[in-house]
Amino acid sequence: MKAIFLACNQALYDEVLQKMKEIGLRGYTSWEEVAGCGMNDGEPHLGDYVWPTMNSAIFAVGEEPKVSEFLQAVRAIDEANPQLGLRAFWWEIGGTI
């Protein structure tokens, strides 16, 4: 199993959730409004008067090959929308109880 943490511009949130639904990646928790700033470039998303944009975040857990298919889909979303910002981080995890 793998865990995924994904942060993206709020404008991409519905598209990301739709991809999860299409792939059948069901186990997730999401936060629709989170603040943040990328490591390399891009504008901060802080929800204030200077930087009004916000991010959304998703923490998901799933089995292969669904996780790999989802990561490929979000890479395509990010490449199609480079100005908005989307990052996904994943790691191997143990089972659930």
Q: Are 58 and 30 in contact (CB under 8 A)?
A: yes
Q: How high is the pLDDT of residue 67?
A: 97
Classified as helix, coil or strand, 72 is: helix
Q: How high is the pLDDT of residue 33?
A: 95
Distance from the Cα of residue 69 to its chain's centroid: 14
Rg of the chain over all Cα atoms, to the nearest angstrom: 14
Written as tens digits, the pLDDT of the chain (97 aa) is 999 999 999 999 999 999 999 999 999 999 999 998 887 777 888 889 998 899 999 999 999 999 999 999 999 999 999 888 899 999 999 877 7
Sign of CA dihedral 12, 15, 21, 25: negative
Q: How high is the pLDDT of residue 68?
A: 96
Q: Are 88 and 4 in contact (CB under 8 A)?
A: yes
80 DSSP assignment: H
Q: Enumerate domains of the chain plus CATH numbers.
A: 2-92 (3.30.70.120)
C-alpha distances out from residue 88 to 31, 38, 73, 75, Å? 15, 12, 11, 9
